[in-house]
Chains A and B, each alone.
Chain A
Amino acid sequence: MTEVWIVGASMTRFGRFPDLDLMDLASDAALSALRDADAAMADIGVLTMGNVYEAGSNNGQRLQKQIGQTGVPVYNVVNACATGATAVRVAMLSLLAGEAEMGLAVGVEQMGKMGLIGNAAQSHGSRAGGKPAKKEFAPKGRYGAVVKTEGVLGTGLMPGVFAQAGTEYALAHGITAEQFAKVAQKNHAHSTLNPLAQYRKEFSLEEILGADVISYPNTLPMCCPTGDGAAALVLVTGEKLRTLDPDVRRRAIKISASVLTSDPWVDGGQVQPDVNTLTRNAADAAYEAAGIGPEDLDLVELHDCFATAELLHYDNLRLCEPGGAGDFIDSGKPWRDGSTPVNVSGGLLSKGHPIGATGVANLYEVATHLRGEAGDRQVPDARVGLTHVIGLASACAVHILEAPAAR
């Protein structure tokens, strides 16, 4: 059975870099990952590129033109917020299929300061040739709508969707606004130890609860920022790994499970995205593939796009008893010094969420801890970690990484 290993990992700082372009960020991450692997573009047999907002621009090939055109297959990948993780998975599948022995997976995004409600906030022009068009109601689209429905028939924007996912759990299991806020308190505190995080500022629970409400129960520090960044991994087959330099082998991290799911049909899923079922399905499949249970995890990087989402995923990833996510955050277990550290990087809430880079950056973070190279934020003696990303609508990727028992 062929195994796939990570031998190079890197990410840029996440933040806002208006003076750089997408290729600057992608090149930085890719070249750093290659250096980390003691490899060069000439060694790479397959390139995968994850990016969302410029996905029509063949960014994988554009990257080759900046760092090395060697004629290898390139896959340009887009899969919502799971784009980066999907790019890693495509590289992995290429290796498992025997297409290549060494692959480079890159995720990059430049979102700038587009605002929380992003593209959905763009106004629809009603002018034609400088003259105001006549406003005349006529049913349009699959729902026969005569007006824009956002805010009229509830909200479908991400802050509202993830807030409602959280309150559904809260109404069923008695979660408080304070318990949701504790997630943001933890992740912002963690980010102060991560030099690559977009924000590195601690907030008190009172500051978080008292901040501007975006979409209740999420206040501003409970929502991830937009921003720019890139991350990259160099992957090799087990056979190839055995031929590499001992220093590279010593730092190699095994991908024990890689799972991608999409939404199965659930009642009501047509009107409110179900962020739970596909995550549970992905986690269960990953635990089974790796032969590892949630109790074996030394750290988890999960998709905290909003504080409400992280709490749900404690339950979805089986980190707590069913319905017990509120007790789990109260117990302190997901803090860096707890029994199951979650989002030691600062998470999306504080590290940042450049969409195409996020999934790769999560793998970078866990691999860095498993290598014992995470500096001030290092989880001591970390051997096994899990990464999770979810994108609407709909994709969920879960990876389980392991440091080998003996090098």
Chain B
Amino acid sequence: MAPALPAVDYLVLEGTPHLVAWFCAQCGASYFDRRNACARCSGAEFERRPLGTEGVVRAFTIVHRAAPGLPAPYTSVVVELDGGGRVKANLLGVTDPAAVTAQLKVRLVTFVAGTDDDGTEAIAFAFEPIGGAA
């Protein structure tokens, strides 16, 4: 099996792939990036905790005119994860706007986003509708 790296460090591949976020110890606000302080309360202590792997679509777009080198059309969504936290990613297998309804339920999946010259794969995450496209 090819060696693999998560495409971003807030994706954990071990076990069931899932996202992790930094939570402000003072107010509970969550962030994917390393923080200097909390944007909400300026607290400076954080703890890293896993997020849910299912959620609902809050917003979407189907990108037809993409940045160079990217296959189009593809669907970008903002997902509100069960248990809290929002994340932006692609929605796989859906390019029909009628298939994206309010409260569409989705689950996190992973895919290979690229391979470097050593054969190491970059593993990214996306979402897919639960129970197939509506």
Contact = CB atoms under 8 A, between A and B. Distances in A.
Interface string B93-134: 000010011100000000001101110101011000000000
A135 B116 contact: yes
B22 to A, nearest CB: 10
A216 B64 contact: yes
B133 to A, nearest CB: 16
Nearest to A136: B116
A159 interface: yes
Contacts of B40: 265
A208 to B, nearest CB: 15
B88 A137 contact: no
Contacts of A121: 67-68
Interface in A153-205: 153-157, 159-160, 163-165, 167-168, 171-172, 177
Contacts of A120: 67
Contacts of A164: 59-61, 76-78
B49 interface: no
B7 A160 contact: no
| Most B CB within 10 A of own CB, among A134, A145, A171, A265 | A171
Given A160-B61, A217-B97, A147 B88 contact: no
A153 B90 contact: yes
B97 A150 contact: no
Contact of A153 (B8, B62, B117): B8
A116 B66 CA distance: 10
A268 B32 contact: no
B61 A215 contact: yes
B65 A117 contact: yes
B80 interface: yes
Contact of B117 (A134, A146, A147, A267): A134
Contact of B116 (A137, A172, A270): A137
B39 A155 contact: no
**A interface residue count range (under 10 / 10 to 19 / 20 to 34 / 35 or more):** 35 or more
Interface of A: 116-117, 120-121, 123, 134-137, 139, 142-147, 149-157, 159-160, 163-165, 167-168, 171-172, 177, 212-217, 265, 267-268, 270-272
Interface of B: 5-10, 29, 31-34, 39-40, 57-70, 73-74, 76-78, 80, 86-90, 97, 100-102, 113-114, 116-118, 120, 122, 124-125
26 contacts: A123-B68, A123-B69, A136-B118, A136-B120, A143-B8, A143-B9, A145-B7, A145-B9, A150-B70, A151-B74, A152-B7, A152-B70, A152-B113, A153-B124, A165-B59, A171-B101, A213-B65, A213-B73, A215-B63, A215-B64, A217-B97, A268-B78, A270-B31, A271-B32, A271-B78, A271-B88
Given A143-B9, A143-B33, A151-B67, 10 more contacts: A136-B118, A144-B8, A152-B113, A153-B8, A154-B77, A167-B61, A168-B59, A215-B65, A265-B39, A268-B58
